[in-house]
Amino acid sequence: MASAEAIHLAGGPKIAMRYGRLDAESVPAEGFLPDAHPPFHGEKDAAAHLRRVFGRMGFGDREIVALSGAHTLGRAFAERSGATSSGYGKKGTEFTSNPKHVARGDGKAGFGMAGGQAWTEKWLSFDNSYFTQARPGLNHDSGKGSLWLPSDDALKTDPSFRTFYDQYAASQERFFADYADAHRQLSELGSQWAVPGGIVLDFDVAGYRAQLSKCRGDLRAFIDAENCNPILVRLAWHDSGTFDAFRRTGGANGSIRLKGELKHGANAGLSKAVGYLRDFKKKYPMISWADLMQMASAESIHLAGGPEIPMRYGRVDADFSPAEGNLPDAHPPFHGEKDAATHLRCIFYRMGFGDREIVALSGAHTLGRAFAERSGATSSGYGKKGTEFTSNPKHVARGDGKAGFGMAGGQAWTEKWLSFDNSYFTQARSGLNHDSGKGSLWLPSDDALKTDPSFRAFYELYAASKEAFFLDYADAHRQLSELGSRWVVEGGITIPTSKL
Ligand code: HEM
């Protein structure tokens, strides 16, 4: 940061920096940095030496010349590198020891400690003068004028280097563009990041916000037309629900878009939901997958009559998936746990949730269906193989009375399974119902919420009060949507609410 800011402050280009580097505790062996003078580690000349040293870092000729242009700034000292005979204080040149000389580009006087020999006259100004000043020859022991070392001279004499040297002498813009890119690469060599993708400070928050707002409008229209609210809610939940608070793995990081994770047994059927969002990702490329999924879910709930969830955005996508097996099962053997309640606690406590959130979040089953072909949690399948609530085209599943429910089939928990209300807690439950092909679904994991005494307290609260359910649901959903998320800007990005 200090380096990039120093360049920008001196009039140089703005460098697209990322932060979040992890510090190393070990020291590399000596001898990796380039020399300015022979014997160049035994290489035949300065050009060969530069190529070997920079090539090892992954750089090519263009970057060697561009990065060398950083010598537009600064000096060499006899007492440090010994690359010049000019030393500290008065032992410098007319550009470094004369207090009247102005080295800054903005015309301000002063240059800290005096002395040394600089490559350029204005050696506190970042411009392309390293490439434009007249170079009568090597100049490192005259104690006068500007410095020019064998390693600098190679950039003028080697034919390949020279093409870039001439380009930069002719165009400061060209130099700045190549320099900024090479410097960014240099600043990231071998860096390990605390956060996947690093942390970007100069993130275009206003641009991101604008895309989020537009995307929200498009998503609303799409969801309303497709009636795909439930699958979008399930997609976001399955992205978040892998979170392991102890190991700090998984979470709302968009990794469910990756083919390997979509193939996890629990995610059967969800590639359809990722497919729905692909066009939105193309249209709004700034928006991360993680944000897109979470936005689609929160909007799906709100559109279906559910609470407005106070969302934050700016999640960074992960490029790797957690191991399989982090999501809850609806049926025994519950990963070997003694019953459904223990299993649910095991899974949701791992995410950092308590009993209240387990019951509130399960209330999301007020929306949607299970399919024989996906989870297999019901015998009801696609199309006509559903129930009177899912396969009868005359049945109205939306809360606003509009007809239509997208693809037919499956078995739903509630009659109005495209309406978000507290009916998951209020409908009469005569017992488990997942293989009758009739009526509403009720699985062992749902039943635990009624039978376990601690869960039951919340179950009854939500059955008695839709307001209490909405309040707790919105809060738990917000937490769920942020599990393990890494943010491009601290605190995330919010957008103003907008009426449906
Ligand atoms: C408590 C543990 C949970 C279990 C065991 C569970 C299990 C299931 C199962 C088996 C399905 C059927 C999938 C299919 O066949 O397509 C399903 C669907 C669904 N789940 Fe859950 N779930 C749980 C928690 C949640 C949570 C926390 C949410 C959201 C906050 C959620 C939202 C949904 C939605 C919306 C659907 C319907 C998807 C559709 O219609 O396509 N579930 N769940």
List pLDDT tens digits, range 351-366: 999 999 999 999 999 9
Q: Indicate if 213 and 294 belong to the same structural domain.
A: yes
**178 and 215 inside one domain:** no
Same domain, 304 and 381: yes
Is residue 82 one of the residues assigned to a domain? no
Cα(441) to ligand 1 centroid in Å equals 11
Atom of ligand 1 nearest to the CA of 377: 10
Q: Over the chain, what HEC string results?
A: CHHHHHHHHCCCCCCCCCECECCCCCCCCCCCCCCCCCCHHHCCCHHHHHHHHHHHHCCCHHHHHHHHHHHHCCEECCCCCCCCCCCEHHHCCCCCCCCCCCCECCCCCCCCCCECEECCCCCECCCCHHHHCCCCCCECCCCCCCCECHHHHHHHHCHHHHHHHHHHHHCHHHHHHHHHHHHHHHCCCCCCECCCCCECCCCCHHHHHHHHHHHHHHHHHHHHHHCCHHHHHHHHHHHHCCCECCCCECCCCCHHHCHHHHCCHHHCCCHHHHHHHHHHHHHCCCCCHHHHHHHHHHHHHHHCCCCCCCCCECECCCCCCCCCCCCCCCCCCHHHCCCHHHHHHHHHHHCCCCHHHHHHHHHHHHCCEECCCCCCCCCCCEHHHCCCCCCCCCCCCECCCCCCCCCCECEECCCCCECCCCHHHHCCCCCCECCCCCCCCECHHHHHHHHCHHHHHHHHHHHHCHHHHHHHHHHHHHHHHHCCCCECCCCCECCCCCCC
User: Which ligand 1 atom lies nearest to the CA of residue 330?
Assistant: 5
- Closest residue (by CA) to atom 17 of ligand 1? 370
Q: Give the CA distances from residue 75 to residues 89, 146, 179, in Å, rounded to whole numbers and listed in that order.
A: 12, 9, 19
- Residue 375 in contact with ligand 1 by CB distance below 6 A: yes
Q: Is 79 within the bounds of a domain?
A: no
The answer to whether residue 109 is domain-embedded is: no
Integer Cα distance of 423 and 30 in angstroms:
70
Model pLDDT for residues 434-472, shown as the tens digit of each residue = 777 778 999 999 999 999 999 999 999 999 999 999 999
Q: Is residue 459 located within the same domain as residue 365? A: yes
Domain-located, residue 86: no
**How many angstroms does the Cα of residue 407 sit away from the middle of ligand 1?**
17
Look up the CATH number of the domain holding residue 164. Answer: 1.10.420.10
What CATH number should be reported for the domain holding residue 425? 1.10.520.10
Nearest CA to ligand 1 atom 29: 364
Residue 256 lies in a domain: yes
Catalytic sites, residue numbers: 238
Burial of 158 (0-12, 13-18, 19+ CB in 10 A): buried
Q: 314: left (phi > 0), else alpha (psi -120 to 50), else beta?
A: left
Looking at the structure, tell me whether residues 257 and 369 fall in a common domain: yes
Residues making up the chain, counted from first to last: 500
Based on the fold, state whether residues 372 and 289 are members of the same structural domain. yes
Contact 73 CB / ligand 1 (< 6 Å): no
What's the domain count of the chain? 2
Name the residue of 358, 365, 472, 479 to mutate for ligand 1: max ligand atoms within 8 A of Cβ. 365
Candidate from 226, 227, 232, 237 with most ligand 1 atoms within 8 A of CB, to mutate: 237
Ligand 1 centroid–CA 319 distance in Å is 25
Q: Cα of 370 to ligand 1 centre, how many Å?
A: 8
Give me the amino acid identity at 185: Q
Q: Does residue 392 sit within a domain?
A: yes
> Are 483 and 400 in the same domain?
yes
Q: Considering the domain boundaries, does residue 83 fall inside one? A: no
The domain boundary, picked from 188, 221, 243, lies at: 188
- What does the pLDDT profile of the chain (500 residues) look like in tens digits? 999 999 999 999 988 888 999 999 999 999 999 999 999 999 999 999 999 999 999 998 989 999 999 999 999 999 999 999 999 999 999 999 999 999 999 999 999 999 999 999 999 999 999 999 877 778 887 778 899 999 999 999 999 999 999 999 999 998 998 899 899 999 999 999 887 778 877 788 999 999 999 999 999 999 999 999 999 999 999 999 999 998 778 999 999 999 999 999 999 999 999 999 999 999 999 999 999 999 999 999 999 999 999 999 999 888 788 999 999 999 999 999 999 999 999 999 999 999 999 999 999 999 999 999 999 999 999 999 999 999 999 999 999 999 999 999 999 999 999 999 999 999 877 678 777 777 899 999 999 999 999 999 999 999 999 999 999 999 999 999 999 998 888 789 999 988 88
Q: Is 197 exposed, middle or buried (0-12, 13-18, 19+ CB in 10 A)?
A: middle
Q: Are residues 156 and 285 in the same domain?
A: no
What pLDDT digit, counting tens, does each position of 117-163 carry? 999 999 999 999 999 987 777 888 777 889 999 999 999 999 999 99
In a domain, 364, yes or no: yes
136 lies in the same domain as 273: no
Domain closes at, from 133, 163, 188: 188
- Single residue among 142, 158, 188 that ends a domain in this structure: 188
In this structure, are residues 256 and 293 in contact, taking their beta carbons and an 8 Å threshold?
yes
Identify the domain containing residue 429 by its residue range. 204-500
Residues 179 and 210 in one domain: no
| Alpha carbon distance 161, 288 (integer Å) | 40
10 lines ligand 1 (CB under 6 A): no
Cβ atoms 455, 448 nearer than 8 A: yes
Residues 208 and 182 in one domain: no
Residues 434, 441: Cα–Cα separation, whole Å: 5
The reply to whether 279 and 174 lie within a common domain is no
Q: Is the CB of 488 under 6 A from ligand 1?
A: no
